[in-house]
Amino acid sequence: MELTEQTAAVQRMQDYIRRWAGSDEFSLEGMYAAAGYSRRHADRLFKELLGQTPREYLQAVLLTQGAARLRDTRDPVLDIALDSRFASHEGFTRAFESRFSVAPSRYRRSPSPIPLFVQYPIRDYQALIRRKEECQMSEEIKMCTVTVQERPRRKLLYLCSKKGKDYLSFCEEMGCEWEGLLNSIPQKMDTAALLELPPQLVKEGCSNIAAGVELPLDYCGEVPEGYALAQLPAGALFYFQSEPYDREEDFCLAIESVQRAVERYRPEPFGYRFAPESGPSFNFGAEQETGARVAVPAVKL
């Protein structure tokens, strides 16, 4: 069996979980039927490609959905536990605390940054690897919009890598929990992003590639272990955004299209210059419905 067949089977299971995890329509039988293989074989493929069993993956999804309800609603914890497919309040509490290192009741009282689980499609990961190997483009996503946003003084919560050069190498070194953790912070000014840091923010022994999120200047919340908190000066961000794309596997193409637009763009006629020394650049990744998005720091001439 070819790797593409393995990937497709696991992707069908991920798609099933994404669609039905929080619904009464979900069933393990339906998930394995979506894979098109026996339960034992599907479990093996899933664990081989994603590093965890389908049951572990499903529980991570449900606990993350439960965390969002704890943070954003006043729904009783027991209702959240039952909707998360736990038989009791106690079982949900044990699993939640094991995953997030905080009890549900404490998290509800004072939401702290926790590593919410992000469902990365296996097809996207494989597409990223293939794209890195190809190093050539057969087609382009051409349209890219540019928007300028003035930013006040603010803080940056970020996680440095030692050898990271891009998204793939960063996640291979540091894992992928950073996205869920940073996006769990209610005060964030935008979504979590991969960063290219200016020299003054690069920690000794680290590369200039990090992951981070912008926070208001008055943010006084917890700084997770391994992360750093720094202040950013007021300034402009030039947001580059591609057009939406039809095929999910084209997310690499969309990001490359935006990066080329950044390289070719000249802000001087509009009274700005790019200022990589003033703050980080942000790569927000790509979504099929909205396209890829990158933000670059700039200052007025």
Same domain for 12 and 103, yes or no, is yes
Total number of domains constituting the chain: 2
Same domain for 42 and 152, yes or no, is no
* Percent of the chain residues topping a pLDDT of 90: 71
The predicted-structure confidence for 67-103, as pLDDT tens digits, reads as follows: 999 999 999 999 999 999 999 999 999 999 999 999 9
Specify the CATH number for the domain of residue 22. Answer: 1.10.10.60
144 pLDDT above the threshold of 90: no
Same domain for 94 and 162, yes or no, is no
116 part of a folded domain: no
Same domain for 151 and 275, yes or no, is yes
Q: 136: pLDDT confidence band, cut at 50, 70 and 90? A: very low
The predicted-structure confidence for 234-277, as pLDDT tens digits, reads as follows: 999 999 999 888 877 777 888 888 999 999 999 999 999 999 99
Same domain for 92 and 174, yes or no, is no
**248 CA to centre of own chain:** 16
Burial class for 43, CB neighbours closer than 10 Å (0-12, 13-18, 19+): middle
Quote the CA–CA distance of 247 and 251 in Å, as a whole number.
Answer: 8
126 part of a folded domain: no
1 pLDDT above the threshold of 80: no
Same domain for 92 and 162, yes or no, is no
Same domain for 102 and 148, yes or no, is no
Quote the CA–CA distance of 144 and 293 in Å, as a whole number.
Answer: 9
Range 137-147 average pLDDT: 68
Q: Which residues contact 178 (CB under 8 A, 6 or more apart)?
A: 115, 159, 192, 211
Same domain for 51 and 139, yes or no, is no
The amino acid at 156: L
Can you give the residue range of the structural domain that contains 53?
A: 3-109
98 part of a folded domain: yes
Same domain for 156 and 236, yes or no, is yes
54 part of a folded domain: yes
Residue 137 has a pLDDT of 44
Specify the CATH number for the domain of residue 296. Answer: 3.20.80
The predicted-structure confidence for 192-204, as pLDDT tens digits, reads as follows: 999 999 999 999 9
Burial class for 86, CB neighbours closer than 10 Å (0-12, 13-18, 19+): buried
The token pair at 166 is 């891009």
Burial class for 64, CB neighbours closer than 10 Å (0-12, 13-18, 19+): buried
Same domain for 25 and 154, yes or no, is no
114 part of a folded domain: no
Quote the CA–CA distance of 243 and 254 in Å, as a whole number.
Answer: 8
Range 62-66 average pLDDT: 96
30 pLDDT above the threshold of 90: yes
Q: Which residues contact 230 (CB under 8 A, 6 or more apart)?
A: 155, 156, 158, 201
118 part of a folded domain: no
Same domain for 223 and 270, yes or no, is yes
Count of positions (residues) in the chain: 301
- Mean pLDDT comparison of 56-65, 142-151, 164-173, highest-scoring range: 56-65
Angle at the Cα of 10 from the Cα atoms of 8 and 11, rounded to 5 degrees: 60
Same domain for 51 and 147, yes or no, is no
| Residues 206, 163 contacting (CB under 8 angstroms) | no
- Indicate yes or no: pTM above 0.85: no
